[in-house]
Structure 1
Amino acid sequence: SFADPRAHYDSQQQQSLNERTTSRTVTVRNVNSFAKAVLLEQFIGDVRVRAGGESACLAALDLGCGRGGDLKKVANSGVAHYCGVDISRVSLEKFVDRVGAMMKDVGRAKHGVLGKELPLREIILINADCWRDCLDSTLDAERVGSARVEELGQAWFHLVTSQMSCHYAFESRTSVETMLRNVSSRLCEGGIFVGTIPDATKIVAAHRAAMEQTGELKVGNPLFQMEFEPSEWAKVQAHHDLWEGRTVRHPGDVVFGVSYKFSLIDAIDSCKEPLVHFDAFRIMAKQHGLALCLGPRPLIDFANDLQTNMKA
C-alpha cells in the first residue's frame, strides 16, 4: 500500500553519520547533492547579478525543505536570508540540529562564501503544508527578511527553490495552484524559481517496457523500486499519449492525482509519488507570471557540465 508523504517523512528513522556514509545509496546521494549544488549556485549567481552584484543581500524561500539538506548549498552561494517551509515537524527538528552543526563547520569551509566566513544572517523555519496552505500571511507574520522593513511589511525573495518535493503538489490541480501561488506571489522582479521533479515520461516508459517484458508494473534494482498499482496504471493507459511527451496543450484534470510507489533503500519506503505532467506544469506556471527559462533538463547534466568545463 501507499504511504502518504505527509506521514512518511514524520515516521522516518534518523540515520547516524556512520549509517549514512556506509549506506549502499551514498554514491547516489552524493551525486545528486553535488548536482543540486551546481544547479543552485548557477541560478543564485544569475539572480545576484540582477540584484546588484556581490553586495546584494539575497533572500531564498525553500519549499519542502525537509531536514535542511540544501541549506549549506544555498549558504555557500551567498544567500543572506533563508526561510524553509515543510509539512514534517520531525524533519524541521532535525533541520535545527543541522544548523547547529553547520555553524560549527563554517570556520573549516574552504570554498564559496562560507569559505570567507560570511554565514547566513537569518534562518527561519516554518511548519506548514506548502501545497495546501497559502503562505503569504505566515511569511509576513514571521517577519521574514524584507517583512521587517517598515515601508514593505512583506516578505520578498530573490530565489524560490523546491528540490525533489514540488511534485507532491500534483495530487490535485488545486494543490498545484496553491504551490504556484506560494512560489510566485512573493518572488521579486527578476527572481527565479528552481525546482527539480522526477521525469514522468521516463518513469512511464520504464514501466511500459517492464510490462511488455515481464508482465509486471514494477521497475528497479537493488537500490530502488518503483511500482504502479493497477488502478493507477489504468489512469496512465487511458491517456497514454499525454504521458509520452507528445502534447504541448493543457491536458486537463486527468493528469493530476496519478501516483506510483517509490522506495529507496535506507531512505524511502513505499512513498506515494505523483507523476508531474510537465506541459501542464509549464502552462499553469505561466498563468502565475512565471516564464520557463531552462528545462526540463536532467539534474545530472549540471554536474557533467561542470566536470567538462573543469577539464577544458
Structure 2
Amino acid sequence: MSRRPRDEPSSSYSSAQKRHNPGVAGGGYGAQQAYSEDQIQSMHVADHYSARTNQSLEERENSPIIHLKKLNNWIKSVLVQLYTRPGDRVLDLACGKGGDLIKWDKARVGYYVGVDIAEGSIKDCMTRFNGDSDQQRRKKFSFPARLICADCYETRLDKYLSEDAPFDICSCQFAMHYSWSTEARARQALANISALLRPGGTFIGTMPDANVIIKRLRETEAMEFGNSVYCITFGEEYAEKKFPASRPFGIKYKFHLEDAVDCPEWVVPFHLFKLLAEEYDLELVLMKNFHEFVNEYLQKPDFADLMRRLGALGDGRDKSTLSQDEWEVSYLYLAFVLRKRGAAPSQRRVGNTSRGKTFLAEEDIEVLSI
C-alpha cells in the first residue's frame, strides 16, 4: 500500500467563533505529538472493525441479528436511491468493508472514493470491489474506485482529494458518532464533507439517536440497559444522568451488539449536530428515527418490494421475521440528510476519474498517516 504524508494541520478554532471557512477545521495535531487519548480510542475502534472477518453467506444468515442487518441495508438502500443520480461522484466516509458497493453500483454512479480508518477493512473493501469475495455473486462493478486508509475525523482531506472533488454525494453510515469524542474531531469531519461536496450536494448518513439512548438510560435505575442482542453501558461519571448542552462532546458509552459491535461510542445530540453542520454550510433536509423512516417509506411500493426481496421483515413466519429485540435495537438509530448550501452547477462535471481504477491492487490503497 502506498503511504502519503498527512497534510499540515490547520490552526485551532474555538467554539465561540460563529463562522468557519468550510474545509478548515480546528484542533489539528502535529506529527511530532504523542497520540492523544481520543486518537488511541479511535485506533481501538479501527482495530475492532479490522479484526472482524468477512462472514460467509451461511454464517451471515445464522447471525442472531440477521434481520436487523437486512433492515439496516434496506434503510441505506432507500437513502441511496432517493438522493443519488446516475453518474454521481461518491465519497464514502467510514466505508468499512465495502458493504454498500452494490448499492452504489445499482444507482449507476460514475466514480467512488472510499475512506476508512481500519486498514483491514479497506483491504476487505478492495477484495469485494475486485469481485474476489465469497459474498460477491455478481458481475464486476461498473465504476472506477479509489480507496484511502485514513481517519477522516483527524485528517484534512480537501487538498488531498482536490483532483477528485467536488463530489455529488457523501455517505457516512453508522459512523459519524465516532467523530463526536472531541469538538476538534467533529469539526474536522464536517469540514471535510463541506469542502468536498459541490454546492447543492447531498450528505446522507445514519447514527445513534441520542434522544432515545438518554431516555432509555433515565428510565432504568442502573447505568446500563439492553435486551438479548444489545447492551449499552454508561460510566459512573454519568450517575446523575445529566448531560449539559454546554458540554456536548466526549459523552462516551460502551455499546455491545451481538455479532456486530463491541466498542466505545459517543452520544451525538442531534440538535447540536444540526447547528454545527450549519456552520459548515450544511443544511438539514431530513432526520427520522429508524421506526419513523420504516413506517413512512414502506408506504411506497418500490421500497416495500425491496423490503420483501431483502427479507428484512420476513413473511410473517417466526423464523423469517424481525424479532422484537432487533426492532428495539433499530429504534436506537436515526437517518439524516444534509445538503450543502448553494445552487447546483448548471453543467455536471464530466469525470476526471483517472485516479480511480476498475481493479485495485493492495499497493493502490493509499495510507494517510496522522
Q: Which range, TM-score by smaller chain?
A: 0.7 to 0.9
- Which of 105, 112, 126 is matched with 1:82 structurally? 112
Structure 2 residue aligned with 1:294: 286
In proportion to residue count, which structure has more helix? 1
Structure 1 residue aligned with 2:143: 121
Shift of the 208–124 alpha-carbon distance from structure 1 to 2, 3 Å rule, reads same
Report matched runs for 1:214-225 at 5 Å: 216-225=222-231
- Which of 163, 183, 187 is matched with 1:173 structurally? 183
Aligned residues: 260
Structure 1 unmatched runs, 5+: 49-53, 108-116, 141-146, 148-153, 240-250
Say whether the 8 Å CA contact 2:170–2:204 is kept in structure 1.
yes
Tell me how far apart the structure 1 counterparts of residues 192 and 106 of structure 2 sit (CA, whole Å). 25
Aligned residue type for 2:150: A
Does residue 196 of the first structure (1) align with residue 206 of the second (2)?
A: yes
Structure 1 residue aligned with 2:58: 18
- Which of 229, 235, 244 is matched with 1:229 structurally? 235
Shift of the 184–101 alpha-carbon distance from structure 1 to 2, 3 Å rule, reads same
Does residue 263 of the first structure (1) align with residue 256 of the second (2)?
A: yes
Report matched runs for 1:266-281 at 5 Å: 266-269=259-262, 271-281=263-273
Structure 2 residue aligned with 1:243: none
Say whether the 8 Å CA contact 1:35–1:300 is kept in structure 2.
no
Report matched runs for 1:1-312 at 5 Å: 4-44=44-84, 48=85, 57-101=87-131, 105-107=137-139, 119-140=141-162, 147=163, 155-211=165-221, 216-234=222-240, 236-237=241-242, 239=244, 251-252=245-246, 254-269=247-262, 271-295=263-287, 297-310=288-301
Structure 2 unmatched runs, 5+: 1-40, 305-370
Aligned residue type for 1:128: A
Please report how far the alpha carbon of residue 74 of structure 1 lies from its aligned counterpart in structure 2 after TM superposition. 1.8
Please report how far the alpha carbon of residue 9 of structure 1 lies from its aligned counterpart in structure 2 after TM superposition. 1.5
**CA deviation vs aligned residue, 1:217-248 (integer Å, no higher than 9, x gap):** 111111111111112455x4253xxxxxxxxx
Find the residue that maps to 2:289 and give its secondary structure: coil
TM-score, reference length from structure 2: 0.66
Find the residue that maps to 2:64 and give its secondary structure: coil
Structure 2 residue aligned with 1:51: none
Shift of the 285–25 alpha-carbon distance from structure 1 to 2, 3 Å rule, reads same
Q: Which has the higher contact order (CA 8 A, sep 6+)?
A: 2
Find the residue that maps to 2:110 and give its secondary structure: strand
Say whether the 8 Å CA contact 2:177–2:267 is kept in structure 1.
yes
**CA deviation vs aligned residue, 1:105-141 (integer Å, no higher than 9, x gap):** 445xxxxxxxxx9x4321111000010101123224x
Report % sequence identity: 31
Aligned residue type for 2:59: E
Aligned residue type for 1:282: K
Aligned residue type for 1:228: F
- After superposition, the CA RMSD in angstroms is 2.3
Tell me how far apart the structure 1 counterparts of residues 196 and 55 of structure 2 sit (CA, whole Å). 35
Say whether the 8 Å CA contact 1:41–1:77 is kept in structure 2.
yes
TM-score, reference length from structure 1: 0.77
Shift of the 233–279 alpha-carbon distance from structure 1 to 2, 3 Å rule, reads farther
Aligned residue type for 1:25: I
Aligned residue type for 2:80: L
Shift of the 238–185 alpha-carbon distance from structure 1 to 2, 3 Å rule, reads closer
**CA deviation vs aligned residue, 1:158-181 (integer Å, no higher than 9, x gap):** 001101101110000000110001
